[in-house]
Chain A
Amino acid sequence: MILKVESINKSFHEKSAIKDISFEINGGEILSIIGPSGAGKTTILRCINGLERCDGGSIEICGLKLCKEENNQCIYPSPKKLRKLRSNIGMVFQGYNLFPHLTVLENIIEAPINGFNVAKNDAENKAIELLDMLGLKEKVNSYPFELSGGEKQRVAIARACALNPKLMCFDEPTSALDPELTDDIAKIIEKLAQEGMAVLIITHDMAFAKRISQRIIFIEAGKILSAINIKPFLSE
């Protein structure tokens, strides 16, 4: 199991955003979380990648605790450990959040080189391999402003893959794409899963979620309403 979320809670200014959320994702599995806007989808994602701190509950990634509850408080590891732990989680933001002043290649190798001391050569080879897989090889030296929306998204995926994460998170991956591009991103996500990654998708695109996921979790007002299995998933 890659990700295990156990009854996490989060409030903003006393107002509960998510409540008692629990689920798990295995390697190779694609799970979508669906719900109306304001339901807390993004908050769940932000708790998992550590951008928000949970008020309660625990999150485990690859057997390591991102946070655990002790005496009604959520305990997080030191910033250094947290950074290490986070390299297991890849994140593709809704707005992609590429670094505009860096080329496509520099965007991808920034974290491996300057965050995790990977040798420049190794980082570049890995980046080019990823870009090749995503059909962006000729864009290596382009800047983000020179790319289309779909290309930016693929660069964001390559950047998130550069540290070989075990879990890949997507925030509304289809929100800015044309229908024909939706199929491309679906294929890319499936490929990541085939390579053994656990994939978590936050979306309100029901058709997309049905097309791609093994399981869908429906949430409303910060709580899980139901979960359905779409495709049978052969466990590791």
Chain B
Amino acid sequence: MINCSEVRPRIALYVDREVAGAEALEFEAHLTECAECRREYDELRETVDAVRGASPIYELPEQSYAAVEGIVADWQRRQGQPRWRKWMPAVAAVVLVAVGAEWWYSAERSGYEQFAVHAHRNYARGTFPLDVVSTQPQVVSDWLVPRVPFHLELPNHPEGGRKPYALAGARLMQYRGEDVAYLAYEMDRKPISLLISSSSRIMPSGGESYKSGGLTFYFSSEQGLRVITWKDKGLTYAQVSDLAVKGAESCVICHGADGERRKFEGLGKRL
């Protein structure tokens, strides 16, 4: 037989039907005998019954049905759609990011070419004085080496190995916070500019590409000028000229003689 100290803390459990079976029977037996426990039980029972009897105390507004049924119907309609439709927003987002990245990448690439063209124009107009003026590659190399963040050694052509172009000098420039070398050449009294950077952010690009000697050259036109870009041993080159020839043919003009011609084998077929 259970006593009052066991019954009192469990009155709520009994009212809430959380006790059953033999325990409930013992409980009921105690309540019939103990007036004090019975009084406590009755008080709780009355309160709970009053609340339950008044329920529901909150009436559901009529307009709530339409709103909730609309949400559920919308969900059901989406359930009936093919699975791939659910992924459409995610796919669209990925495409958008890819297009944005490509646009940004293109802007990055073309920026270097435009910078080279701008430098070339200034040099051609005479508004862009060179820091070092010399036709000697060694002199120009010696001036540039301590000033740029990369090793640079301009080739000394052997005597007799005549080139159609000649070195004019060099200048130190800044592109996006990094030092780049600007080299000026001349051919038939026309300027040719060569920009050299060691920045890993700059990638060569262009409309037409040509592979030779393990390198890929890109050819494009900017503001009526021919631009060739390529990357070699961590350095990115941009050559600007107003040569009247298009694409890879311009390479042959300077490098088509002597032993260098083999570098451009097959060029004629391509062009």
B and A form one assembly: no
Q: Give B contacts to A, CB under 8 Å.
A: none
